[in-house]
Amino acid sequence: MKRVLSGMQPSGQLTLGNYIGALKNYVTLQHTHDCYFMVVDLHAITVPQEPAALKEQSESVTALYIAAGIDPAKATVFMQSHVRQHAELGWLFTTLTYMGELERMTQFKDKSEGKDSVGAGLFTYPSLMAADILLYNADLVPVGDDQKQHLELTRDLAQRFNQRYGDTFTIPEPYIPQVGARIMSLDDASKKMSKSSTNAGSFITLLDSPDVIRKKISRAVTDSGREVKFDPQAKPEVSNLISIYANCSDMSIAEIEALYEGQGYGPFKKELAERVVALLEPLQQRYREIRESGELYDILRQGAERATEQAEKNLRIAKERMGFLVL
């Protein structure tokens, strides 16, 4: 089976956009691929994190992975910091990365804009991301549009290493699902739904209560007019809501348009809220069971052992080929 690697940062609560754009695909991929799904806590600290919040969110994201349907018996689920080889190979790849390559990263430009001082980790973390992927010789990496540039750097670094030291790392390919890959903000459909947004009404978290979900969707921005029609160019706001509806109901866009023809936005948004609630309630129940059971650390311990075995083998080969004395 081809190998897949992906991860999410524990820097805030996971959103409905994370579920539709990534978690649903993780659950599907685990049945057909050799999957490694990590919680990238080392990436999270590229910006300051409050220690108690980082710990809680690391546990929460792991539990949501399992609650969403990832099976630890089928996929390797682990915490990035539990596998020390990530940091070590990350440093080796930092030495292979050129300043100009990092300066071109649009995510660094966006996150550092307007700030007087920026941590070096925010600048160099694409090298660590490359190490994350190459450490397992992943064939496929699920990425959103905002991460394509980082994957291209990963491919460049893998080729650079292979040319200098011999064929060592697999050149990864992006895995971009055609449906549901990019869910936009509820208050501005030109921006991706993000857990880091300062406006809590712009996103739905996977742990939002039914009443909160209903309120957020009722207040979601819609386009002028009242026609429920999928047209991302002319009607981006309602098109985003239709996309959410389709992913939460397994109905096609055409079926949704036909169902609400002539009804306007009110009935559409009301039923959309119920669809989201129905999707998330069982996930939330499973999440609570996992947190209360105490099984989380056993899952992470077992995942770290499997990941470490694979990571150490590939790190050792890389260090030998670079000329390090390996005991």
Residue 216 near residue 201 (C-beta atoms within 8 A): yes
Question: What is the distance in angstroms between the CA of the first residue and the CA of the last residue of the chain?
Answer: 32
> Does 195 participate in catalysis according to the annotation?
yes
Q: Identify the CA nearest to 39 among candidates 81, 73, 93, 69.
A: 81
In the numeric block, the tokens 């992975």 are attached to 65
Classify each residue of 202-238 as buried b or exposed e, where b means 16 or more C-beta atoms within 10 Å of its C-beta: bbbbbbbeeeebbebbeebbbbeeebbbbeeeebebb
Cα–Cα distance, 8 to 37 (Å, whole number) = 8
55 is catalytic: no
Nearest CA to 214 out of 163, 153, 129, 275 is that of 275
Structure tokens at 153: 């750097």
How many other C-beta atoms can be found within 10 angstroms of the C-beta atom of residue 283? 17
* Interatomic CA distance for residues 274 and 31, integer angstroms: 29
Q: State the Cα–Cα distance between residues 185 and 182, nearest whole angstrom.
A: 10
The pair of three-digit structure tokens given for residue 235, joined into one six-digit string: 């009607």
- Active-site residue (options: 24, 74, 111, 319): 111
Q: How far apart are CA 326 and CA 174, in angstroms?
A: 33
Name the DSSP letter for residue 181. S
The catalytically annotated residue of 195, 216, 235, 269 is: 195
Task: Kindly state the tokens that stand for 136.
Answer: 């397992």
How far apart, in whole angstroms, are the C-alpha atoms of residue 115 and residue 129?
Answer: 23
- Answer yes or no: 111 catalytic: yes
Cβ-proximal residues to 114 (8 Å cutoff; 6+ apart), any chain: none
For residues 179 and 246, what is the distance between their CA atoms, to the nearest angstrom? 9
* Active centre residues (catalytic): 111, 192, 195
